[in-house]
Amino acid sequence: MTLTKRDLVVRISNETGLVQQQVFDVVQKTLDYIAEALAKGDKVELRNFGVFEIKIRKARVGRNPNAPETDVPIPARAMVKFKAGKEMRAEVLKLTPQKLAPQT
C-alpha cells in the first residue's frame, strides 16, 4: 500500500476538522520549503522523523550491459540522502517479514 499526499490531507482533515484545502496548502508549503532548502544545499532536520541532506556522488565509469566493452562516463551529481530518526527506525524495526510481503 502506498500513502499519497492526498491520503495525508484527508486523514489530517478528518482528525483535525480543518478544511481539506487548508490542510493541502500547509502540506504543500511544507514540502516546497523542504525542497527549496535542499536545492540551496541546506540540511533539513525534522526531529524524531529524520534528516534530509545533499550528498555529491563522485564521477565514475559505468558499463552498458548490452555492450560491456564500452565505457560509459557517469558525471558527478548531487543526490538527496535521507537518514531516518531514532523513533522512526524503532517503529520500522517492529515490522515482521510477513507484514512486508506483497499482498495479492
Do you know the residue count of the chain? 104
DSSP secondary structure string, 34-47? Answer: HHHHHHTT--EEET
Cα–Cα distance measured from residue 20 to residue 26, given in angstroms and rounded to the nearest whole number: 10
The string of pLDDT tens digits covering residues 18-67 is 999 999 999 999 999 999 999 999 999 999 899 999 999 999 999 888 88
List, in order, residues 6 or more apart from 16 with CB less than 8 Å away: 23
Domain extent listing, the chain: 1-40, 43-96
Amino acid residing at 89: R
Level-2 CATH architecture, domain 43-96: Irregular (4.10)
Q: Supply the pLDDT for residue 98.
A: 64
Amino acid residing at 79: M
In sequence order, the β-bridge partners of residue 84 are 50
pLDDT at residue 102 above 80? no
